[in-house]
């Protein structure tokens, strides 16, 4: 992709503002971004009120503009922020709180200095500031009348639903940073190639916190970017709460805060339970519903781009308390930008899970310029997940027939297969996971068997779409309120 324009260089100060976690330095914005300086009253370790100054970069979109104007609303702790749009311009910003604390003497600010600015310059600066304030106020008023409901940082903690941006993509950015500071880690519940997942508490509620390794910054950035997509929220996609980077000069934590599901991943759940046919279909329908929402383009003033996951597997699907599932882990996801007919691929060194890679990826034949190719790769992986689920669904009299849990291709490849292992089995030999005879004699396993065979077909254009699979499974879905889109 070609980047148009150039960002600006800003001073960054404060551990939470600098991208590398250093105490001060510089950062670069995206084109159209802002430099900022913020001053806030905080409590130090001794419990005394002190002024904390932070400086850094803000994004060029509406969220950055709203943060620049956040001083216009009351805060729980007094805070003021100023923004500018030139290289290193925030070195000269000195925002002042409306009511300074009593311990800060105001007299020195009133004393004349030999190098004081001319009266004319002060008058011009005040006039420009007044015009800018009136213009910003007019823009905010116009946006509210146009139906934009995105609030600035709230004056006090409120329930998550009230603090939502209204776009379906989580909390406003300023609120997200507040959330990250309020998180209380409880215990580690999982580790992976990207980092570690912790059970944590926020306002008395359980949440999951994904802590990325410092080497996985690209995965954190892409996953945060995907979750922030407008209209991304869906009951079968893991609920996003907040993202933030915390650290000092010696360490950095990249956090992704999401809903917590105590049943864990589908991979772990299938090893512990045996499914009945209704439970199997509820899970399968919810997974394909989430995938269909991802793959779907929603057109409008602020529509949703089509998204391909690129790492569908049972470990990246979580089981909710109601028996449905939610798709997680978007560190490898790609988006289709319809306006430019481009596939937005993040610069990420990670690859997908080799066991679930389709033949065209193993054979290095996937056309990265064709977004449909990524969607069809997702469908191949979905077919393998359906196979894992069918093995754990009991049939027969008193439901006594069920296979033990197993990963796809477990008979042919080692536990951690290489590209060469998978290529030899999937591409050269054309092997697919075996289908027990009992599946063909019992519904809905017979229907799922037919669907998974069409999903993992060697020829990508022959594979079913997520919406086609969703419509087929809807006939077996027990929820009468389920509607197709």
Q: With contact defined as beta carbons under 8 Å apart, do 284 and 389 qualify? A: yes
61 assigned to active site? no
Among 179, 218, 220, 173, CA closest to 196: 220
**Active-site entry in 87, 268, 311, 344:** 311
Write out the two tokens for 51.
């002024």
149 assigned ligand-binding residue: no
Among 213, 211, 223, CA closest to 187: 211
Cβ-Cβ contacts under 8 Å for 479 (sequence gap 6 or more): 282
Q: With contact defined as beta carbons under 8 Å apart, do 358 and 377 qualify? A: yes
| Burial tier of 26 (Cβ tally within 10 Å: 0-12, 13-18, 19+) | buried
- Residue in the structure block whose two tokens are 């439901």: 399
Q: With contact defined as beta carbons under 8 Å apart, do 101 and 79 qualify? A: no
Q: With contact defined as beta carbons under 8 Å apart, do 228 and 170 qualify? A: yes
DSSP class of residue 118 equals: P
d(CA 355, CA 419): 9
Q: Which residues pair with 205 in a beta bridge?
A: 202
Cβ-Cβ contacts under 8 Å for 142 (sequence gap 6 or more): none
CA dihedral 351, 352, 354, 358 (to 10 degrees): -120
Going through 173-239 in order, the beta strands assigned E by DSSP cover 184-191, 195-202, 205-212
Phi then psi for 450, rounded to 5 degrees?
A: -65, -45
Q: With contact defined as beta carbons under 8 Å apart, do 345 and 331 qualify? A: no
Helix, strand, coil % (nearest 5) of the chain? 35, 20, 45
> DSSP string of 399-440?
G-B-PPP--TTTTTS-SS--HHHHIIIIIIS-------HHHH
In SS3 terms, 370-382 reads as CHHHHHHHHHHHH
Give the DSSP H/E element, type plus range, for residue 450. helix 445-455
Binding residues for ATP: 210
Catalytic positions: 311
Binding residues: 210
């Amino acid at each position: 992709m070609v980047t148009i324009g150039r960002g600006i260089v800003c001073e960054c100060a404060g551990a939470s503002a600098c991208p590398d976690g250093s105490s001060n330095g510089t950062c670069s914005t995206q084109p159209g971004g802002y430099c900022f300086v913020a001053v806030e009253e905080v409590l130090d370790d001794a419990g005394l009120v002190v002024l904390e100054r932070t400086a850094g970069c803000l994004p060029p979109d509406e969220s950055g503009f709203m943060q620049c104007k956040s001083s216009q609303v009351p805060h729980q702790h007094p805070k003021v922020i100023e923004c500018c749009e030139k290289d290193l311009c925030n070195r000269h910003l000195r925002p002042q709180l409306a009511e300074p604390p009593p311990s800060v003497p105001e007299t020195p600010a009133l004393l004349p200095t030999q190098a004081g600015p001319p009266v004319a310059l002060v008058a011009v600066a005040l006039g420009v500031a007044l015009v800018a304030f009136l213009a910003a106020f007019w823009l905010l008023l116009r946006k509210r009348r146009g139906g934009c409901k995105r609030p600035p940082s709230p004056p006090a903690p409120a329930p998550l639903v009230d603090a939502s941006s209204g776009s379906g993509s989580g909390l406003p950015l300023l609120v997200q940073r507040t959330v990250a500071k309020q998180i209380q880690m409880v215990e580690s519940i999982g580790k992976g190639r990207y980092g570690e997942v912790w059970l944590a508490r926020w306002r008395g509620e359980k949440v999951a916190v994904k802590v990325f390794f410092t080497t996985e910054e690209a995965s954190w950035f892409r996953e945060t970017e995907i979750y922030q997509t407008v209209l991304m929220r869906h009951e079968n996609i893991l609920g996003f709460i907040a993202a933030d980077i915390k650290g000092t000069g010696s360490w950095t934590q990249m956090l992704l805060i999401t809903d917590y599901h105590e049943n864990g991943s589908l991979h772990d759940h299938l090893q512990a339970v045996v499914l009945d046919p209704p439970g199997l279909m509820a899970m399968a329908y919810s997974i394909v519903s989430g995938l269909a929402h991802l793959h779907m383009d929603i057109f409008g003033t602020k529509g949703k781009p089509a998204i391909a996951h690129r790492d569908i597997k049972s470990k990246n699907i979580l089981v909710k308390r109601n028996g449905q599932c939610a798709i997680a882990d978007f560190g490898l996801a790609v988006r289709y930008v319809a306006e430019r007919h481009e596939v937005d691929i993040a610069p990420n060194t990670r690859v997908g899970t080799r066991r679930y890679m389709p033949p065209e990826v193993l054979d290095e034949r996937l056309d990265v310029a064709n977004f449909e190719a990524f969607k069809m790769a997702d469908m191949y992986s979905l077919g393998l997940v359906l196979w894992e689920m069918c093995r754990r669904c009991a049939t027969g009299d008193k439901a006594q027939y069920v296979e033990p849990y197993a990963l796809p291709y477990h008979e042919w490849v080692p536990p951690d297969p290489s590209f060469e292992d998978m290529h030899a089995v999937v591409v050269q030999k054309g092997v697919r996971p075996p289908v027990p005879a009992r599946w063909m004699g019992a519904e809905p396993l017979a229907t799922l068997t037919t669907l998974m065979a069409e999903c993992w077909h060697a020829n990508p254009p022959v594979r079913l779409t997520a919406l086609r699979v969703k419509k087929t499974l809807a006939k077996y879905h027990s929820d009468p309120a389920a509607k197709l889109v």
